[in-house]
Amino acid sequence: MIIAQENGRTIPKEDKIFAINGRAKAMIAEKGQDAVVNATIGALLDDNGKLIVMESVMDAIRMLTPADYAEYAPISGIPAFKEAVKKALFGSHQTDRFVEVCASPGGTGSLRNTISNYSQPGDKIMTSDWFWAGYTTIVGELGRSIATYELFTKDGAFNAESFAETAEKLVDEQGRLVIILNTPAHNPTGYSLTDEDWDKVVESLNRISAKGPVTLLIDAAYIDFAGDEEEYRSFFKKVELLNEHVLPLVAYSASKTLTLYGMRTGALVCMAPTAEIAEEFRRCAEYSSRGSWSNCVRAGQTVLANIYASDELVEKVAREREYFRNMLIARGKAFEAALREEGVENVPFDAGFFTCIEHEDPNAISAALEEQGIFTVPLAKGVRVSVASISEEKCVKTAKAIAKLVK
Ligand SMILES: Cc1ncc(COP(=O)(O)O)c(C=O)c1O
């Protein structure tokens, strides 16, 4: 007898990505690392398939005391962590918004608390038609579902019209709306909204929010792997132009930005238009945290606090991350160039851990690649390749194999 199913818990027997990754690992064990391309993993690996852990972050970890590991943290995070998050997230951007920070176990926790507080059960949460599968699980667990707009126009530009039309329709239907916007270096396409794209987002949300409040959750999981860290924060200036009926929230995560995936450290940050909305955010975020995971990992918070307490460490993190970011961008560009050489285009790609090839039968393409020892993830609209987890050489090999199959 199975019991949870009685409650509508019809959960797939295995996670698709973990299953493919498992087969890739089995093949590596049998044939060796060089014979296999495992482009399924959402973590930055070196050219030999080993997890990259930033040495500068390890310096901050080595400073931890027993109490930093063992003691409870306050629900919203230790004060030095909250100050560090503001520095890590905003860089040199000075905001005149009402900012509040609430610790979360990675971006996942921030997404969860946004959905639970700013939408109602049964609501549709808007995101683009290419999206991270985690969103479906997070919103589904809370009795909400995903509705999508088309991310790209036919000529590969940001589809501002689809964004605005879909948002307006959903506000009309629901009287409110939560939007998840994963930028820069979007998972799974690698697209980053330009300042011009942002102008259109701001214009449409300022208009549509007259019909009902809009919460714009910027999922900034990959913000430090897009390119120049200052340049890629220029969108914050645009966020400031949103009117008082739009609440911008940012999901900050140390998982990728500091290679701290397992320490479950992140924060939900509000850029509220009024002090009253900021205070309400603080109460809601803390209450939801209390009822979900209580407080977050103190050690991870202290790592961030330690880094930002030392100019030397901040500088070391920046230098080290720049090196890995350049490596990652070089891989992405090599993949794109090799594909183009064969006359095939990937989706509009800027930077980040992933890129995709649009195709009507992604399962068939992924399966054919797997026969050649190349492991990718089939999504609804195409095949996802993690350039974060394979060497430049393997990026080229993968691009050529894909081109042969789709041409
Ligand atoms: C787009 C996106 N958002 C959020 C997350 C959440 O990651 P974490 O909870 O580790 O911060 C991920 C992780 O892969 C992601 O790809």
What would the pLDDT profile of 61-93 be if each residue is shown by its tens digit? 999 999 999 999 999 999 999 999 999 999 999
- For a ligand 1 pocket test, name from 132, 387, 389 the mutation site with the most ligand atoms within 8 angstroms of its C-beta: 132
Cβ of 253 closer than 6 Å to ligand 1, yes or no, is yes
For residues 171-189, average pLDDT: 98
**Ligand 1 centroid vs 2 CA: distance in angstroms?**
31
Token readout for 376 is 């990718």
What count of Cα atoms within 13 Å lies in the side-chain half-sphere of residue 200? 14
What residues contact residue 90 under an 8 Å CB cut-off, 6+ apart?
233, 236
* CB-CB contact of 303 with 258 (8 Å): yes
Which superfamily does CATH assign the domain made up of 4-54+325-386 to? Aspartate Aminotransferase, domain 1 (3.90.1150.10)
Tell how far the Cα of 138 is from the centroid of ligand 1, in angstroms: 11
State whether the beta carbon of 259 lies less than 6 angstroms from ligand 1.
no
Structure confidence at residue 182 as a pLDDT band (50, 70, 90): very high
Rounded average pLDDT over 134-151? 97
Separation of CA 40 and ligand 1 centre (Å): 14
CA of 205 to the centre of ligand 1 (A): 25
Cβ–ligand 1 contact at 248 (below 6 Å): no
- Going from the Cα of 324 to the center of ligand 1, the distance in angstroms, rounded, reads 19
Pairing of strands 177-182, 377-378: unpaired
Judge if the beta carbon of residue 184 lies within 6 A of ligand 1. Answer: no
Whether ligand 1 lies within 6 angstroms of the CB of 386 is answered as: no
Polymer length in residues for the chain: 407
Q: How confident is the model at residue 118 (pLDDT cuts 50, 70, 90)?
A: very high
pLDDT digits (tens, 9 = 90+) for 369-391: 999 999 999 999 999 999 999 99
Mean pLDDT computed over 322-348: 96
Top mutation candidate among 219, 222, 260 for ligand 1, by most atoms within 8 Å of CB: 219
168: nearest Cα among 160, 177, 156: 177
Answer whether 190 contacts ligand 1 (Cβ < 6 A).
Answer: no
| pLDDT greater than 80 at residue 1 | no
104 lines ligand 1 (CB under 6 A): no
pLDDT band at 250, cuts 50/70/90? very high
Please tell me if the CB atom of residue 389 comes closer than 6 angstroms to any atom of ligand 1.
no
The string of pLDDT tens digits covering residues 6-63 is: 888 888 888 888 899 999 999 999 999 999 999 999 999 999 999 999 999 999 999 9
Q: What percent of the chain has pLDDT over 90?
A: 95
How many whole angstroms separate alpha carbon 290 and alpha carbon 288? 5
What is the CB neighbour count within 10 angstroms for residue 387?
29
Nearest CA to ligand 1 atom 4: 107
5 has a pLDDT exceeding 90: no
Mean pLDDT of 136-143: 96
Comparing CA positions, the residue from 257, 240, 290, 301 lying closest to residue 113 is 290
In this structure, how many other beta carbons lie within 10 angstroms of the beta carbon of residue 72? 9
Minimal-distance CA residue to ligand 1 atom 7 = 107
CA of 260 to the centre of ligand 1 (A): 12
The tokens for 144 are 């909400």
Cβ 127 under 6 angstroms from ligand 1: no
CB of 183 shorter than 6 A to ligand 1: no
Q: Is the CB of 132 under 6 A from ligand 1?
A: yes
pLDDT confidence of residue 333 = 96
Mean pLDDT across the chain, nearest whole number?
A: 97
In three-state form (DSSP H/G/I as H, E/B as E, the rest C), the secondary structure along the chain is CCCHHHHCCCCCCCCHHHHHHHHHHHHHHHHCHHHCEECCCCCCECCCCCECCCHHHHHHHHCCCHHHHHCCCCCCCCHHHHHHHHHHHHCCCCCCCEEEEEEECHHHHHHHHHHHHHCCCCCEEEEECCCCCHHHHHHHHCCCEEEEECCECCCCCECHHHHHHHHHHHHHHHCCEEEEEECCCCCCCCCCCCHHHHHHHHHHHHHHCCCCCEEEEEECCCHHHCCCCCHHHCHHHHHCCCCCCEEEEEEEEHHHHCCCHHHCCEEEEEEECCHHHHHHHHHHHHHHHHHHCCCCCHHHHHHHHHHHCCHHHHHHHHHHHHHHHHHHHHHHHHHHHHHHHCCCCCCCCCCCCEEEEECCCHHHHHHHHHHCCEECEECCCEEEEEHHHCCHHHHHHHHHHHHHHHC
Q: Which atom of ligand 1 is nearest to the CA of 261?
A: 10
- Residue 329's pLDDT band, with cuts at 50, 70 and 90, is very high
CB under 8 Å to 213, separation ≥6 — which residues? 118, 176, 177, 245, 246, 247
Domain locations in the chain as residue ranges: 4-54+325-386, 58-311
Burial 26-46 (b: 16+ CB within 10 A, else e): ebbeeeeeeebbbbbbbebbe
Peptide bond just before 188 cis, omega within 30 deg:
yes
Residue nearest to atom 5 of ligand 1 (CA): 107
The CATH architecture assigned to 58-311 reads: 3-Layer(aba) Sandwich (3.40)
Residue 293 CB–ligand 1 contact under 6 Å:
no
